Amino acid sequence: MEGEPVAKKTKFVLKTIIYDKLKANQWLDEPPLEIWDHHIIPLLSLKDLALARPVCTFFEAYWQEKFSNNVLPLRVGNDVATIDGVMGVIEILSSRRVYTKLNPFVVLLGKGDHEIKSLYEDHYGNTPGYYQATFGITRSNITFVGKGIDTTRILGGFHIGNVENITFKQMTLTNRSGEGNGIRMRISKVELMDVALKGCTNHGLYIPHSISETTVVATRCEFANSGFGAVVEGSLNSATFNNCVFYDNKYHGLAGSSKATIHLHGEDTAIHSNKSNGIYASISAKVIIHLPSNHNTCYNNGTDRNTRSFGTINNVED
């Protein structure tokens, strides 16, 4: 029923639920709120309910309550036709209510491929940089949720700058454009859970030098089949990887430089089959492996561990 007009959806639900299950004359009244919350709303989208607002005072009051409490996610393919339209809606709705880390704006991505066609223009520095197939995130407190690594795939990448509390869950990102970064972030805070950044022309994850703190926490993620798996640069930048794997990259699986700090946690951590270095630390960067030295963390790479210019790679047991 996804994509059908709100009137048709509502009529169907009212007939099957209210007419068939409620008392004989109860259909004359407005449906109880539990019917809306548990049976009707799951079939509707944010757009559907918004379009129903003029129907009667009940719809307007119900919309206001749901919007104020942030219980209506934005569904790509229903509320907006493609992922490229998401940020425009977020910009408008963010001017009408406050989203927070604990109560973020939620974007639901369904099964299949979601192609990013946007061109992002980065004005950081003296010369703007242009990134094809790149979605620019301009607001904080946004969570993108897919249906699973093997089910939801983003064809393109994300540029994240000067924002915080951006989360990605249960999806794969593949960016084969010229720049080809899965996620490029600066002066931002990002969390990745059950995400694969694979098949990117350049970096799966790239954190360049910045003038303010940039952090990422990744859990059960894959960084694979790209130019570089994950690269972190700069003394103000850090990354924490929990039970993540880095494999089959053309150059480094995981690299830190210029005083960046990288932490690796979890027995399922594995860095293997990268053609250049498994772990590379240069220019006083620190890679701290929170695992016993006998753990099979890094193997079958061109060089498993490589340090230069005072970079360090050390195991510690917490």
Last residue of one domain, picked from the residues 37, 72, 107: 72
Whether this prediction's pTM lies above 0.95 is answered by: no
Residue 181 sits in the same domain as residue 280: yes
- Which residue in this structure is represented by tokens 């490589």? 306
H/E element, 280: strand 277-282
When mean pLDDT is compared across 46-50, 93-97, 263-267, the lowest value belongs to: 46-50
Task: Please count the other Cβ atoms lying within 10 Å of the Cβ belonging to residue 219.
Answer: 17
Q: What is the pLDDT of residue 318?
A: 83
Task: Give me the CATH number covering residue 122.
Answer: 2.160.20
Residue 120: the pLDDT is 86
Contact criterion met (CB below 8 Å) for 166 and 159:
no
- Indicate if 169 and 204 belong to the same structural domain: yes
Report if residue 19 sits inside a domain: yes
Predicted pLDDT of residue 8 = 56
Q: Are 117 and 59 members of one domain?
A: no
Domain that residue 11 falls in? 1-72
In a domain, 79, yes or no: no
Give the pLDDT mean for 96-110: 94
Q: Which residues pair with 155 in a beta bridge?
A: 115, 174
| Structural domain includes residue 120 | yes
Task: Round the average pLDDT of the chain to a whole number and report it.
Answer: 88
pLDDT score, position 174: 98
Domain assignment present for residue 86? The answer is no
* 213 and 144 housed in the same domain: yes
116: which 2 tokens? Answer: 């990013």
Judged against a pLDDT cut of 60, whether residue 118 lies above it is answered with yes
As for how many domains the chain has, the answer is: 2
Q: Examine the domain organization and report whether 13 and 154 are in the same domain.
A: no
- Mean pLDDT (whole number) for 224-234: 98
Taking 3-state DSSP, the helix, strand and coil percentages for the chain, each rounded to the nearest 5, stand at 20, 40, 40
Please state the φ and ψ torsions of residue 7, each to the nearest 5 degrees.
-65, -40
